[in-house]
């Protein structure tokens, strides 16, 4: 679905199956695994991923660190730590935006041409999906408008409802 000159797509499915250069993980500060998309990525990538993560010594909320993809189709995993939703008054929007920018900068610096994002913070961490998707779309469009790499970004949604929210946002922000 359109956006930033056709460089943004929305899909519904399991991010671990996507044949993109990099997938983003919605991790926690320990970077040592968990549930949700984090659990799925570690299961699909195999034990090499956890071993590499142990050497990263965690990651601050609002930032991201890169590893290899191991058994995943993706060459890299960018482990982003989104904020826990606490009502919106504790800097959550800025921290979430910073996650997206950090991952996009990792993609640019690694030369990752395609990157897929899950809806960071909107599961266990409780960030309302409409607000989180708005931040995701704004940050990705801003970055793609500034840098040629990554060439394409995929928003990988886990439900039809989430997919519709992203598609509606992208239709609204599409250039006429």
Q: Shortest distance, CB of residue 148 to ligand AR6, whole angstroms?
A: 26
Q: How far is the CB of 120 from ligand AR6 (least distance, A)?
A: 5
Q: Which among 82, 30, 80, 23 is positioned nearest to 55, based on CA atoms?
A: 30
Structure-token match 């990554």, residue found:
150
**Binding test (CB under 6 A) with ligand AR6, winner from 82, 112, 139, 169:** 82
Helix H or strand E encompassing 102: helix 92-110
Catalytic residue among 38, 160, 162, 174: 38
Q: Is-catalytic flag, 160?
A: no
Number of chain positions touching ligand AR6 (CB under 6 A) = 24
How far, CA to CA in Å, does 152 sit from each of 12, 55, 60, 112, 114? 16, 30, 26, 9, 5
Binding residue (CB under 6 A) for ligand AR6 from 123, 131, 151, 168: 123
Q: Return the residue of 1, 7, 11, 34 that touches ligand AR6, per CB under 6 A.
A: 34
Other beta carbons within 10 Å of 87: 7
Active site residues: 38
């Amino acid at each position: 679905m359109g956006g930033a000159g056709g460089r943004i797509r929305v899909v519904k499915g399991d991010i671990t199956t996507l044949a993109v250069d990099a997938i983003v993980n919605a991790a926690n500060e320990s970077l040592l695994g968990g549930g949700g998309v984090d659990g799925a990525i570690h299961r699909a990538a195999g034990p090499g991923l956890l071993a590499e993560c142990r050497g990263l010594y965690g990651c601050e909320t609002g930032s991201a660190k890169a590893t290899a993809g191991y058994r995943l189709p993706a060459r890299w995993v960018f482990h982003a730590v989104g904020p826990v939703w606490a009502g919106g008054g504790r800097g959550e929007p800025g921290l979430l935006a910073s996650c997206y920018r950090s991952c996009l900068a990792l993609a640019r610096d690694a030369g990752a041409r395609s990157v897929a994002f899950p809806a960071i913070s909107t599961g266990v961490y409780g960030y309302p999906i409409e607000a989180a998707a708005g931040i995701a779309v704004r940050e990705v469009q801003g970055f793609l408008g500034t840098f040629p790499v990554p060439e394409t970004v995929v928003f990988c949604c886990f439900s039809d409802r989430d997919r519709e929210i992203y598609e509606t946002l992208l239709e609204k922000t599409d250039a006429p």
